[in-house]
Amino acid sequence: MKIPKIGLVICNSESSNSGFITGLAATRVMAEFSEDVGICSLPAIANKIPRQMAMVRRIPHIVVIDGCHNRCASKILDQLGIHYDGYINLEDIGIKKLGPFTTLKYSQEDLEKVYRTLTSRMKIYSMNETKLHERRKSFFAYEENLLIYTMAALPVGLIVVNIFGNSCKLCRTYINIFRYVKLKF
């Protein structure tokens, strides 16, 4: 399996016109850009499926496409701490969400507008591939180092909290760190 240069994380909710358009436009872009663009599985990402998470971290560029102001796709990535390089919200480019059960109530003009917007972004990321890939790699290296430093600080934190309880700001900080790494406190 070849990892694409650009991964699309799309709303693709087929319960509304705008969600449906995200999937149609993304599929068309993927077909045009061939192996350079792939669509990532939002449900697999939301459920933290290890294979999908590892793949998403290896894709040089991630572009999120949301169908409306609810921002379902971007919120999932934000909650999981997954960095994305580009973001498109259909409401920001003038596509109005008509509400639930409006899947097929879209115009060809709206689909073309989303397609053109997405295509222009793909060309930008294709040109800046090396620079953005290095930025993503350094972000994940920072995240890994932060976890290592946090784990090294745990013994000191345990001593401080055991002596002072949660009466000082430093102790509360350590308690939050313990909760982050899933220690019972």
Structure confidence by residue, pLDDT tens digits, 167-183? 565 556 656 665 655 55
Same domain, 55 and 141: no
Residue 38 near residue 110, CB atoms below 8 Å: no
Identify the domain containing residue 39 by its residue range. Answer: 6-127
Same domain, 76 and 146: no
Total of domains in the chain: 2
pLDDT at residue 19, rounded to an integer = 92
What whole-number distance in Å separates Cα of residue 85 and Cα of residue 60?
Answer: 9
Same domain, 92 and 171: no
**142 band by pLDDT with thresholds 50, 70 and 90:** very low
Same domain, 105 and 168: no
Q: Is residue 48 part of a domain?
A: yes
Same domain, 63 and 120: yes
User: What is the rounded average pLDDT of the residues 112-133?
Assistant: 76
- In the chain, the amino acid numbered 123 is K
Dump pLDDT digits (tens) for 7-40: 999 999 888 999 999 999 999 998 888 788 999 9
Q: Is residue 1 part of a domain?
A: no
Residue 77 near residue 64, CB atoms below 8 Å: yes
Half-sphere exposure of 100 (CA within 13 A, CB side): 0
Question: 0.75 cut: is pTM over it?
Answer: no
